[in-house]
């Protein structure tokens, strides 16, 4: 029997959904508008960062609960989720690129490349939005 904290996973996925709604609103403003607004820039940085952390938290909960191999990094988490067929190859590729951007948000936060961030968000939103339904489908398949 597996010990998966589905309550915690659902809480994190619910919060991630709120962050993705914010990212959608910001992307609709356009790159120039975001770049010219400190509030929009910081909001995008924060919403993207929390989305990345959500992937890591949910991934770790699945990895721990289903006793998958131990990850060594954020990209390993995505790779394990792909290997275990929680997410598909294309989403894994996109999410790997997304989690790699975390370095800018956490370590190089004084010089976040706004144009690169906006493009990344635009390109990764479909994979980010697909993450929760794929996790939920995996849980349903494995637990019920």
3-state secondary structure of 100: helix
Per residue in 70-81, pLDDT tens?
999 999 999 999
pLDDT at 141: 96
Question: Which entry of 38, 82, 85, 102 is annotated as an active-site residue?
Answer: 102
> Is 102 marked active-site?
yes
Q: Is the pTM above the cut of 0.85?
A: yes
pLDDT at 66: 96
pLDDT at 2: 84
pLDDT at 122: 98
Architecture of domain 6-138: Up-down Bundle (1.20)
Cα distance between residue 69 and residue 67, in whole Å: 7
Q: Which parts of the chain have pLDDT scores under 50? A: none
Cα distance between residue 79 and residue 22, in whole Å: 27
């Amino acid at each position: 029997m597996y010990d998966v904290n589905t309550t915690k996973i659902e809480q994190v996925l619910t919060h991630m959904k709120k962050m993705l709604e914010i990212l959608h609103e910001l992307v609709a403003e356009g790159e120039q508008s975001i770049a010219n607004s400190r509030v929009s820039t910081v909001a995008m940085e924060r919403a993207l960062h929390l989305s990345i952390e959500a992937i890591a938290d949910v991934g770790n909960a699945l990895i721990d609960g289903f006793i998958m191999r131990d990850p060594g990094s954020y990209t390993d988490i995505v790779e394990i989720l792909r290997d275990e067929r929680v997410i598909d190859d294309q989403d894994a590729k996109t999410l790997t690129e997304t989690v790699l951007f975390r370095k800018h948000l956490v370590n190089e936060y004084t010089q976040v490349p706004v144009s690169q961030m906006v493009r990344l968000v635009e390109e990764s939103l479909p994979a980010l939005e697909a993450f929760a339904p794929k996790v939920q489908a995996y849980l349903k398949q494995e637990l019920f």
